[in-house]
């Protein structure tokens, strides 16, 4: 056992927790995409067809088929290669627990004498009589790809392997990859990367210039584009082929720019680039695996579901006006690990900057994309505005406790006498200072970079707080109840609050809903037999990892990307009263959810609803349920908590008609800042 220091997201304290020495290993297994990949039947079938064709081409030349499988994981592709007729396979896996599992899986399937698992990074593998490989390979199989294709270092790995581990002539599976892009106008997507002006009765609140002109975060935004309504964006270009990588030829990891000329389909403001890729498993491109979003498939055509490979949203560093029919240049800059885009006139294409985008304003370092979307959600802000109007007066002394919140500006615009706001970090403090300075509010709204327990009467001008407000939102929060940090802050500030202080929100309630997922269940479903191979050892590893404290509870997922059906009515589990201090005794609740629809009950979803005033509430989870189908609509700017049923682990997606209810026990432990829960399907 070892002691690990972790910041408690609810209490804000540093807790020392005793963990198993293999804790990090178990967490990596539990949060991996191995189950998702093994359940990707389309991917598996295409890989097998491509491997079979490559072995035939090599054998057709009268050569032995020697395979190099980089990033073998479970060893599935290596076993496919031997089944397809390969003579020998070197399977490389750098992650030791997975390499050990691959050894067991290969032996369990009877391939121990034809597959050698090498626990090294491919760049460390040697060839020779005393090396890891006795001879060079002539078939290169890899699955080193991520949503961006090259983000896991595929290009350097290919480059090294082709130079050092392959024969002069080799076959590659996949044979080539093609990157596609489409330039679009989308205020919705742009709102994930830029703070937009906010309309108030007193005028418009403008973001600081450095924030408006900032190119944003350098990391790609990966998302299930299939769940994005096509009405949320307007195409300004056709779907463009940006570049191709031929894996059967020598690959280079050097930086390069790809210039694509196109004529604008419509007039508008080019703001965003949508991108995805496909891979051809054979030279003739008869075996292809595509990552294109669902709305590009014909009606009623089955859409493969993948969480390990999604689609990309890139935010152009500068929005650009385009005119219908006008020729424009899209420039894709690529280094060994990532891609980024610029848009320019054809005459400036060769002189366009190739510098990778990086945040200069601090906002993209402090806020994630969901937080940008939330701050730009005008309907949500209108609810807060309406609620604040009910509680604030011209004599109100208002204190806001939330990270990077616009509520202090709303409070001032409504007419509060004094407004203070707490920021937890120096970066957040600087951001708020810039925003207030831009709008001539720096001398009016006072920013305090202090923890709640350190706020003094002097900080508040020797006055008591008559209105304590919050969204609540804290950057350290992962699960919905982590924002109970607001309650602990309220308790720490008790001596600074007036006796008749109004607290907004006045309370929070934790809700639960039993659901059937369309696809998300796959990430926690057993793989026992995959494409005819026994990989049940993976199930044991994942289940063991899920038995650990953090992973056996709820995990955060943005459910707007993952369709599901409600099988029960939404049920309130417990209410936290923010008008009172955090209690000292545990808060417990138990009961059952009656299933009102048939279906496979994969687990439950949990979320918080905040009661701002008696009449106004805001949900961070369920927004609507279709009476006819049970399809759920989820709040898009927060992640919801998902508790997968371990008791249904062996049932997978099979219907569970005998299931009648789900019983639950839930305990909030104030001293630990912890919510403990158990859910049990019941016949």
User: Predicted confidence band at 548 (pLDDT cuts at 50, 70, 90)?
Assistant: very low
The per-residue pLDDT for range 267-310, each reduced to its tens digit, is: 999 999 999 999 999 999 999 999 999 999 999 899 999 999 99
* Cβ contacts of 547 within 8 Å, gap of 6 or more: none
326 and 421 together in one domain: no
- Please indicate whether residue 615 is annotated as part of the active site: no
334-377 pLDDT, tens per residue?
Answer: 999 999 999 999 998 887 778 888 999 999 999 999 999 999 99
The answer, as to whether pTM is greater than 0.85, is yes
Over the stretch 488-512, which tens digit does the pLDDT of each residue have? 999 999 999 999 999 999 999 999 9
What pLDDT is recorded for position 33? 62
The pLDDT value recorded for residue 418 is: 96
DSSP, residue by residue, 573-595? EEEEETTSPPPSS-EEEEEEEEB
The residue from 18, 19, 21, 143 that is catalytic is 143
* 304 and 205 co-located in one domain: yes
Q: Is the pLDDT of residue 656 over 70?
A: no
pLDDT at residue 14, rounded to an integer: 61
> Rounded to an integer, what distance in angstroms lies between the CA atom of residue 565 and that of residue 574?
23
For 347, residues 6+ apart whose C-beta sits below 8 A from its C-beta are none
Task: Tell me the three state secondary structure of residue 267.
Answer: coil
Confidence (pLDDT) at 2? 44
Answer yes or no: do 279 and 402 share one domain.
no
Q: How many domains does the chain have?
A: 4
Confidence check: pLDDT of 468 > 60: yes
Q: Give me 612's structure tokens.
A: 């701002």
What distance, in Å, lies between the first and last C-alpha atoms of the chain? Answer: 39
Instruction: Provide the residue range defining the domain that includes 465.
Output: 377-504
Lowest mean pLDDT among 28-37, 646-655, 669-678: 646-655
Q: Is 462 left (phi over 0), alpha (psi -120 to 50) or beta?
A: left
H-helix or E-strand spanning residue 623: strand 622-625
Q: Residue 639 above 50 pLDDT?
A: yes
Residue 326 appears among annotated catalytic residues? no
Whether the CB-CB separation of 545 and 551 falls below 8 Å is answered with yes
Structure tokens at 213: 């002109």
Give me the phi and psi of 213, to 5 degrees please: -95, 0
The per-residue pLDDT for 659 is: 67
The pLDDT assigned to 546 comes to 55
Q: Is residue 85 part of a domain?
A: yes
Q: Read off φ and ψ for residue 680, nearest 5 degrees.
A: -130, 115
Give the CATH number, domain containing residue 336: 2.70.160.11
The answer on 251 and 286 residing in a single domain is yes
Between CA 224 and CA 202 the distance in angstroms is: 39
Residue 370, in any domain of the structure: no
Give the pLDDT band of residue 32 (cuts 50, 70, 90). low
Q: What is the pLDDT of residue 545?
A: 59
Does residue 197 sit within a domain? yes
Q: Helix 23-30 crosses helix 96-108 at what angle (to 10 degrees)?
A: 60
- Looking at the fold, whether 222 and 353 belong to one and the same domain comes out as yes
> Which pLDDT score, from 0 to 100, does residue 549 have?
43
Q: Are residues 249 and 335 in the same domain?
A: yes
User: What pLDDT shows up at residue 553?
Assistant: 80
Does one domain contain both 289 and 215?
Answer: yes
Peptide bond before residue 648 is cis, with ω within 30 degrees of 0? no
Instruction: Please enumerate, as own/partner, the contacts of 54-62 that have beta carbons within 8 Å and a separation of 24 or more.
Output: 54/139, 54/171, 54/172, 54/173, 54/282, 55/81, 55/84, 55/85, 55/86, 55/139, 56/85, 57/171, 58/138, 58/139, 58/171, 59/85
Given this model, what pLDDT does residue 526 score?
81
> Do residues 54 and 47 make contact, with C-beta atoms less than 8 angstroms apart?
no
Q: Do 536 and 442 lie in a common domain?
A: no
Domain boundary among 173, 207, 230: 173
Q: What local confidence, expressed as pLDDT, does residue 655 receive? A: 44
Let me know whether 657 and 530 are in one domain: yes
What was the pLDDT predicted at 20? 52
* Average pLDDT score, the chain: 91
Active-site position among 152, 326, 531, 550: 152
Q: Are residues 217 and 304 in the same domain?
A: yes
| E strand or H helix that includes residue 102 | helix 96-108
Whether residues 562 and 487 fall in one domain: no
Residue 392 lies in a domain: yes
Rounded average pLDDT over 42-68: 98
Query: Which residue from 477, 512, 667, 632 is spatially nearest to 8, judged by alpha carbons?
Result: 477
319 assigned to some structural domain: yes
Higher pLDDT, 423 or 654: 423
Which positions ≥6 away from 458 have C-beta within 8 Å? none
- Per the domain annotation, does 189 fall within a domain? yes
Token representation of residue 242? 């940006």
Residue 324's SS3 state is: coil
Q: Does 14 map to a domain?
A: no
Q: Which of 173, 200, 230 is the last residue of a domain?
A: 173
In a domain, 312, yes or no: yes
Domain boundary residue, one of 504, 536, 556: 504
Q: Indicate whether 396 pLDDT > 90.
A: yes
Confidence (pLDDT) at 645: 86
Lowest mean pLDDT across 61-75, 447-461, 468-482, 513-527: 513-527
Residues 328 and 389 in one domain: no
User: pLDDT confidence of 213, banded at 50, 70, 90?
Assistant: confident
């Amino acid at each position: 056992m070892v002691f690990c220091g972790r910041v408690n997201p609810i209490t804000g304290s540093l807790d020392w927790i005793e963990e198993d020495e293999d804790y990090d290993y178990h967490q990596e297994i539990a949060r991996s995409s191995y189950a998702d990949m093994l359940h990707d039947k389309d991917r598996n079938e295409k890989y097998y067809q491509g491997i079979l064709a490559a072995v035939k081409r090599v054998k057709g030349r009268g050569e032995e088929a020697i395979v190099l499988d980089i990033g073998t994981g479970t060893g599935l592709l290596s076993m496919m290669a031997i089944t397809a007729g390969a003579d020998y396979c070197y399977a490389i896996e750098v992650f030791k627990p997975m390499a050990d599992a691959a050894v067991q899986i290969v032996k369990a399937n009877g391939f121990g004498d034809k597959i050698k698992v090498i626990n090294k990074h491919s760049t460390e593998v040697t060839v020779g009589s005393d090396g890891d490989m006795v001879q060079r390979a002539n078939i290169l199989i890899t699955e080193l790809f991520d949503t961006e294709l090259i983000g896991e270092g595929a290009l350097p790995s290919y480059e090294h392997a082709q130079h050092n581990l392959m024969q002069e002539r080799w076959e590659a599976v996949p044979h080539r990859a093609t990157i596609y892009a489409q330039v679009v106008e989308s205020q919705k997507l742009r709102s994930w990367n830029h703070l937009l002006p906010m309309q108030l009765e007193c005028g418009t609140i403008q973001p600081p210039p450095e924030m408006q002109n900032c190119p944003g975060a350098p990391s790609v935004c990966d998302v299930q584009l299939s769940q994005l309504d096509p009405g949320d964006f307007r195409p300004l270009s056709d779907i463009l082929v940006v570049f191709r990588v031929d894996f059967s030829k020598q690959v280079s990891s050097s930086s390069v720019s790809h210039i694509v000329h196109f004529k604008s389909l419509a007039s508008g403001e080019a703001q965003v680039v949508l991108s995805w890729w496909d891979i051809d498993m054979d030279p003739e491109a008869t075996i292809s695996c595509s990552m294109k979003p669902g709305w590009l498939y014909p009606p009623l055509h089955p859409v493969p579901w993948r969480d390990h490979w999604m689609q990309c949203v890139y935010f152009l560093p500068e929005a650009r006006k385009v005119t219908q029919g006008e020729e424009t240049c899209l420039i894709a800059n690529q280094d060994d690990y990532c891609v980024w885009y610029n848009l320019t006139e054809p005459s400036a294409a060769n002189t366009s900057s190739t510098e990778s985008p990086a945040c200069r304003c601090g906002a993209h370092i402090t806020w994630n994309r969901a937080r940008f979307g939330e701050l730009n959600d005008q309907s949500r802000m209108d609810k807060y505005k309406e609620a604040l109007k009910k509680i604030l007066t011209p004599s109100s002394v208002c204190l806001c406790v939330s990270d990077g919140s616009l509520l202090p500006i709303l409070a001032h615009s409504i007419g509060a006498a004094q407004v203070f706001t707490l920021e937890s970090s120096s970066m957040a403090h600087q951001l708020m200072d810039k925003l207030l300075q831009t709008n001539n509010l720096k001398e009016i709204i006072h920013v305090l970079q202090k923890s709640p327990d350190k706020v003094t009467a002097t900080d508040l001008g020797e006055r008591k707080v008559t209105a304590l407000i919050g969204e609540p939102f804290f950057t350290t929060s992962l699960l919905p109840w982590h924002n109970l940090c607001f309650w602990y802050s309220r308790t720490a500030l008790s001596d600074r609050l007036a006796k008749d202080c109004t607290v907004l929100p006045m309370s929070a309630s934790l809700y639960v809903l039993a659901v059937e997922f369309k696809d998300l269940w796959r990430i926690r479903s057993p793989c026992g037999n995959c494409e005819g191979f026994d990989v049940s050892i993976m199930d044991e590893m994942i289940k063991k990892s899920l038995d650990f404290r953090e992973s056996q509870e709820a995990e955060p997922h943005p459910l707007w990307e993952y369709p599901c059906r409600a099988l029960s009515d939404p049920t309130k589990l417990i209410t936290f009263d923010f008008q009172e201090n955090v209690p000292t005794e545990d808060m417990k609740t138990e009961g059952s959810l009656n299933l009102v629809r048939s279906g496979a009950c994969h687990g439950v979803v949990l979320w918080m609803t905040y009661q701002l005033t008696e009449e106004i509430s805001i949900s961070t989870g369920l927004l609507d349920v279709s009476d006819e189908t049970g399809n759920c609509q989820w709040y898009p700017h927060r992640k919801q908590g998902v508790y997968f049923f371990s008791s249904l682990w062996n049932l997978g997606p099979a219907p569970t008609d005998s299931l009648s209810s789900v019983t639950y026990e839930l305990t909030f432990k104030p001293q630990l800042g912890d919510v403990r829960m158990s859910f049990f399907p019941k016949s």
